[in-house]
Amino acid sequence: MSRSTLADANESRDGRIYADFTQGLIRTARALYLDDPLGVDLANTVYALDAPDVAFLDDVLVEPGAIYILDRGYVAFARLPRVTTEAGFFITRWKRNLRYQRRSSHPVDDRPGLISDQTVVFALAKARADYPEPLRRVHDRDPMTQHRLVFMSNNFTLPALTIAQLYQSRWPVARFFKWITQHRRITAFYGTSENAVKTPIWIALSVYVLAAIVRKRLGLDGSLYKLLQVRSLTLFEKMPISTAVFDTGSRFEDMDAGNQLPLFNL
């Protein structure tokens, strides 16, 4: 089959069907991994978002009481009030060039690395017009790297240390998407249309999520990378997945896990 034939086919086949399928798989995986430890003792639902487009926040359905851990790229003050208005909470990084006025300071336990916990408002008129409400500014020092990190949140009830720990729990999510980018099996796009580009990306994501579902349901050890490698050798063999993994898994015992990160290995 010629490349142009595939390109023509991708023009007319809507890639959203694969997006919807992947979203369904994500909901299934979420239920399976719901009880895995986050590292923070917390009753709230926590969402870690990792996308560079701040407009993506407009499409998120804010759940009252849920905490949204946002990449610093989401710091668009005209959009953040929506989270507060709909009774949600956000935690993100403070940008260095943000000017603020301190309203009050709160005592902190400096043993975990906390430096300060303040209630602030934006100093510049434009930023204050976009987000006029007070904000929480938590200054923390990472005990491992000694790097200083400053966080911004609209949650004034959680301990300052929890604010810092929650944001740091987002990092494996970002690293996981980076790992997918490095290991996805997309060698070329068959076409230049939106469908031609998005279809293989959504299919690749669905493969990774399917592997995470299989790994959890069957109680398999090892990383997603190794599981996918095993399946690539037995793709056309008719046997239970668990049998395929156990029969061929020994070949991969000494294999580099491809920098596999512990998002699904907690």
The predicted structure's pLDDT at residue 103: 95
Specify the pLDDT at position 140.
92
Question: Where are the domains positioned within the chain?
Answer: 1-37+194-266, 39-168
Highest mean pLDDT among 52-61, 72-81, 124-133: 124-133
The predicted model gives 30-50 an average pLDDT of: 71
In this predicted structure, the answer to whether residue 52 has a pLDDT above a threshold of 90 is no
pLDDT tens for residues 83-110? 899 999 999 989 888 899 999 999 988 7
* From 20-34, 182-196, 216-230, the region with the lowest mean pLDDT: 182-196
User: Is the confidence at residue 264, as pLDDT, over 60?
Assistant: no
Give yes or no for residue 256 having a pLDDT over 60.
no
DSSP H or E segment with residue 202 = helix 194-217
The two structure tokens encoding residue 118: 């303040």
Q: Does pLDDT of 158 surpass 50?
A: yes
Residues 219-251 have pLDDT tens digits of 877 677 677 777 777 777 777 777 776 665 555
Which CB contacts under 8 angstroms, 24+ apart, belong to 1-4? 3/190
Residue 54 pLDDT > 70: no
What mean pLDDT do residues 173-182 have?
Answer: 63
Beta strand pairing status for 135-141 and 67-70? unpaired
Residue 223: φ, ψ to 5°: -85, 165
Whole-angstrom distance, CA of residue 7 vs CA of residue 152:
46
- Which pLDDT value is given to residue 60? 65
- Tell me: pLDDT of 252 over 50: no
What's 45-91 look like in SS3?
Answer: CEEEECCCCHHHHHHCCCCCCCEEEECHHHCCCCCHHHHHHCCCEEE
